[in-house]
Chain A
Amino acid sequence: MGKLTDETLMAFVDGELDAAEQERVRQALAEDGQAVERLAIFEATGKNLALLYDRPMREAVPSHLIELVKGVPPTIEPAFAKREGRRWLSWKKDRGVSWGFGTFAWGLAAAGAGAILLGVLAYDPIWTTKQNAPDDQTAEATVRDDVQLAGDWLRKVLDTAPSGKAALAAASTEANNVLPVLTFKARDGRFCRQYEFDGTQGRVLGLACRQTNGDWQVLKQFGVAAKGAGAEGYSTASGSDRTAIDDVVDNLIEGDVLGSDDEADLIESDWR
Chain B
Amino acid sequence: MDDEIRECMISFLPRLRRFAYALTGDADAGDDLVQDTCVRALTRLDQWQAGTSLESWMFRIAQNLWRDALRSRRATLMEAPGDDAHELAGADGRIVVDTRSRLRAVSEGLAELPSEQSMVVALVCIDGRSYKEAADILEVPVGTVMSRLARARRALHVLVGDEASGHSPKREEMPNGQAN
User: How far in angstroms is the closest Cβ of chain A from B112?
Assistant: 13
User: How far in angstroms is the closest Cβ of chain B from A268?
Assistant: 23
Distance in angstroms between the alpha carbons of A253 and B130 in the assembled complex? 39
Residues of A within 8 A of B165 (CB): 40, 43-45
With contacts A10-B146, A41-B157 known, is A55 near B126, CB below 8 A? no
Contact with B along A216-250 (1 / 0, CB 8 A): 00000000000000111011110100110010000
Cβ of B78 within 8 Å of any chain A Cβ, yes or no, is: no
Cβ of B60 within 8 Å of any chain A Cβ, yes or no, is: no
Distance in angstroms between the alpha carbons of A11 and B46 in the assembled complex? 36
Distance in angstroms between the alpha carbons of A52 and B164 in the assembled complex? 10
User: How far in angstroms is the closest Cβ of chain B from A103?
Assistant: 17
With contacts A70-B6, A164-B47 known, is A55 near B84, CB below 8 A? yes
Residues of A within 8 A of B15 (CB): 56-57
Do B6 and A16 touch across chains, with their CB atoms under 8 A apart?
no
Distance in angstroms between the alpha carbons of A178 and B164 in the assembled complex? 48
Distance in angstroms between the alpha carbons of A89 and B150 in the assembled complex? 61
Do A69 and B21 touch across chains, with their CB atoms under 8 A apart?
no
Do A50 and B46 touch across chains, with their CB atoms under 8 A apart?
no
User: How far in angstroms is the closest Cβ of chain B from A223?
Assistant: 13
Interface size for chain A: under 10, 10 to 19, 20 to 34, or 35 or more residues?
35 or more
Instruction: Kindly count the residue-residue contacts between A and B in the assembled complex, taking CB atoms under 8 Å apart.
Output: 156
Do B99 and A6 touch across chains, with their CB atoms under 8 A apart?
no
Contact of B150 among A6, A55, A203, A234 (CB under 8 A): A6
Do B125 and A45 touch across chains, with their CB atoms under 8 A apart?
yes
Residues of B within 8 A of A5 (CB): 179-180
Within 8 A of B (CB), among A71-101: 71
Within 8 A of A (CB), among B70-105: 84, 87-88, 99, 102-103
Do A10 and B153 touch across chains, with their CB atoms under 8 A apart?
yes
Contact of A234 among B43, B84, B157 (CB under 8 A): B43
Contact of A231 among B39, B130, B166, B167 (CB under 8 A): B39
Do A45 and B179 touch across chains, with their CB atoms under 8 A apart?
no
Report the nearest A residue to B165, measured CB to CB.
Answer: A44
Within 8 A of B (CB), among A162-181: 164, 181
Do B179 and A7 touch across chains, with their CB atoms under 8 A apart?
yes
| CB-based closest 7 A-B pairs | A44-B165, A56-B17, A45-B153, A6-B179, A56-B18, A49-B125, A61-B13
